[in-house]
């Protein structure tokens, strides 16, 4: 059954012609039947995974386009050169990101009595919050809440404000 271990730990269902990217007991049950000709119940598949030292876990998402060589080059060459140039001219380096959060966003699972769906109570009013932020390598941050949707005009305005504030911002200086 090491084949099952390898399939689960080194691949995803879509690599085996399934329409999904995350493993479920049902998908594994179907794959085992298709590839090995063995009919197992979902609970037997779960026990098999446990026997193999596997458990259900929330995945970490990483870009499949990530190139480890380019990341290493950025960390060892590109970024240190940018830091050097910034120090020479008295500039501050910022990393920018934007985020949106909704009050009704689903944030995981909870446990409940079998056959009864747990109810999470809330105030009923839904709202969203949008934020753009800039952080230095030292962790110093500037941010702004955004009304409505983010667009290029709001992004440019944030950059102008950031540039104006940068003179008072320690960043990499000092």
| Sheet bearing 95-102, strands edge to edge | 95-102, 128-135, 141-146
- When pLDDT is cut at 50, 70 and 90, the band that residue 171 belongs to is very low
Q: Cα(53)–Cα(143) distance, rounded to whole angstroms?
A: 44
Q: Is 148 left (phi over 0), alpha (psi -120 to 50) or beta?
A: left
Angle 2-10/25-36 helices, nearest 10 degrees? 130
Our CA angle for 52, 58, 59, nearest 5°, is: 90
pLDDT in tens, 34-83: 999 999 999 999 999 989 988 877 767 778 888 999 999 999 999 999 99
* Residue 114 reports pLDDT greater than 90: no
Beta-sheet pairing, 141-146 with 95-102: unpaired
- Model pLDDT, residue 106: 61
Question: What Cα–Cα distance (Å) separates residue 148 from each residue in 73, 128, 129, 162?
Answer: 38, 9, 9, 20
First-residue to last-residue Cα distance in the chain:
59
* Mean pLDDT score of the chain: 84
- Model pLDDT, residue 168: 61
pLDDT in tens, 121-166: 666 677 778 999 999 998 889 999 988 888 999 999 999 999 888 7
Q: Cα(59)–Cα(2) distance, rounded to whole angstroms?
A: 22
């Amino acid at each position: 059954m090491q084949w099952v271990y390898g399939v689960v730990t080194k691949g995803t269902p879509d690599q085996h012609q399934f329409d999904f990217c995350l493993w479920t007991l049902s998908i594994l049950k179907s794959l085992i039947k298709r590839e090995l000709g063995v009919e197992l119940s979902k609970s037997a598949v779960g026990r098999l995974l446990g026997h193999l030292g596997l458990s259900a876990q929330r995945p970490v998402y990483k870009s499949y386009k990530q190139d480890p060589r380019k990341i290493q080059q950025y960390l060892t060459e590109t970024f240190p050169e940018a830091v050097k140039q910034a120090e020479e001219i008295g500039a501050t380096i910022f990393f920018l990101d934007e985020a949106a959060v909704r009050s009704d966003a689903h944030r995981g699972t909870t446990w409940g009595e079998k056959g009864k769906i747990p109810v999470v109570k809330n105030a009923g009013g839904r709202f969203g919050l949008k934020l753009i932020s800039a952080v230095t390598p030292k962790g110093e941050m500037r941010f702004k809440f955004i009304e409505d949707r983010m667009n290029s005009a709001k992004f440019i305005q944030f950059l102008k404000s950031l540039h104006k504030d940068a003179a008072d911002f320690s960043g990499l200086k000092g």
